[in-house]
Amino acid sequence: MSLADLGVSESDELVYRFFLRNPGSSAEGVAPAVVRRLLDLRLLEFNPDGNLTATAPHTAMERLIERRLGEVGGELRRVTAAMPALLAEHAAGGPIEHVERIEGMDQTQERIWKMSEGAEEILAMHPVRQNVVPAIRERTLTDLRKGIRHRTIVHRSTLDDPDVAAYFLEIHRAGDRHRVVDEPIQRLVIMDRETAFVPIRPDNPTYGALMIRQPGIVVTLIDLFEQTWRRATDLEPDDADPTPLERRVLELLDRVGKDEVAARAMGVSVRTFRGYVADLMGRLCAASRFQIGTRAKERGWL
């Protein structure tokens, strides 16, 4: 079997197979660029002694499939990015404004809340520490009870405040999946992969925001979020118990064959249910729905 369909060149595959057949071999004579590519693909790793070693085949396949699924997802988003704008222009009977300036933080928050009322998915990044606002807390918990899917990336410095850390943990466990990064990030909110909000001035959000509907920009911001998400770490350790929402999704995946039936059982749309499944795949590092069940059982979640 060739790994070409999973993004590995023939020459790189030969090097991987060499290390697989010859554990402990030196990289002498192997082009450094090839070694770097295989390390990036996580087909080669350094063992505790500092020597290169080949990743086990089943783990290598899982990693390549996960990477390819991410690439395919990005390609599909780019292909379909123009559809929302076309539908909006059709409904409006003419061109719509692709970038709108919203003055002030209060007006920005009001617009975000208004748009979230009919949303199915909200992606967000928070770079700096913020106060816990009771109205935002209640609104977020209400969104989660309605089945709106949230994913949030926060900078580690935001957890320095115990009240903020407790708040993030509360809504994380309620279903707003949080991941933490140490690298610099920018403030960002994306609604249903169609509309993005970014600050007018990144250093001062009180100036307001730009609401962006231009498909090319939105898709680029989505890719930025997804790449950051993959590098981030979960707010809770991987061995933390599943949330009630995750447990319900696992039960339905285990006994219901169709997404439509499972979505009706949860009282959410099919798109939202599939989003829950995608979140579980990410948390369990599963490359397929079958692997979700296998890894959930390994952890005692089922």
What order do you get walking across the sheet with 208-212 strand by strand? 99-103, 208-212, 195-199, 188-191, 121-126, 149-155, 177-181, 233-234
Contact 6, 68 (CB under 8 A): yes
Give the 3-state secondary structure of 266-296.
Answer: HCCCHHHHHHHHHHHHHHHCCCCHHHHHHHH
162 and 213 inside one domain: yes
User: Which tokens belong to 167?
Assistant: 């708040």
pLDDT at 97: 60
**Domain presence at residue 82:** no
- Residue 196 is inside which H or E element, if any? strand 195-199
Indicate whether 189 and 273 sit together in one domain: no
Please check whether residue 265 lies inside any domain of the structure.
yes
Question: Mean of the pLDDT values across residues 109-123?
Answer: 84
pLDDT at 79: 54
Q: Domain for residue 105, yes or no?
A: yes
Residue where a domain stops, chosen among 234, 254, 273: 234
**Mean pLDDT within 196-223:** 90
Question: 282 burial class (0-12, 13-18, 19+ CB within 10 angstroms)?
Answer: middle
Range of the domain at 14: 4-76
Alpha helices by DSSP H, the chain: 10-21, 32-40, 57-80, 82-92, 105-116, 134-145, 162-174, 215-231, 244-255, 259-266, 270-284, 289-298
The per-residue pLDDT of the chain, averaged, comes to 82
15, 43: one domain: yes
Same-domain status, 133 and 218: yes
**Region 116-141 average pLDDT:** 84
> 86 in a domain, yes or no?
no
User: Which residues fall within 8 angstroms of residue 214, CB to CB, at 6 or more apart?
Assistant: 85, 98, 99
Q: What is the CATH number of the domain that holds 159?
A: 3.30.870.10
Residue at 229 is within a domain:
yes
Are 25 and 116 in a shared domain?
A: no
Of 76, 111, 132, which residue sits at a domain end? 76
What residue has token string 């970038």? 99
Per-residue pLDDT at 212 exceeds 80: yes
What tokens were used for 105? 């933080």
Across the range 245-274, mean pLDDT stands at 84
- CATH code assigned at 251: 1.10.10.10
CA distance 29 to 50: 17
Q: Rounded to an integer, what distance in angstroms lies between the CA atom of residue 13 and that of residue 3? A: 7
Tell me the per-residue pLDDT of 149-165, one tens digit each, with 9 for 90 and over: 888 999 999 888 888 88
Show the tokens assigned to 201: 């001035």
Residue 90 forms part of a structural domain: no
pLDDT, position 209: 93
Which residue in 130, 131, 152, 148 sits closest to 139, CA to CA?
A: 148
Q: Is the pLDDT of residue 221 over 90?
A: yes
Domain shared by 170 and 199, yes or no: yes
Q: Are residues 37 and 103 in the same domain?
A: no
pLDDT digit string (tens) for 42-95? Answer: 888 877 666 788 888 888 888 888 777 767 765 665 555 555 555 655 565 655
Average pLDDT score over residue span 121-140: 85
Name the domain count of the chain. Answer: 3
Between CA 63 and CA 69 the distance in angstroms is: 10
Same-domain pairing of 68 and 101:
no
Percent of the chain with pLDDT over 70: 87
Claim to verify: residue 210 and residue 114 sit in the same structural domain: yes
Q: At which of 76, 110, 126 does a domain end?
A: 76
In a domain, 172, yes or no: yes
Could you tell me if 215 and 127 lie in one domain?
yes
pLDDT at 181 over 80: yes
* Residue 23 shares a structural domain with residue 142: no
Tell me, yes or no, whether 141 lies in a domain: yes
pLDDT band of 5, cuts 50, 70, 90: confident
Within this chain, do residues 176 and 256 fall inside the same structural domain, yes or no? no
Strand partners, 149: 121
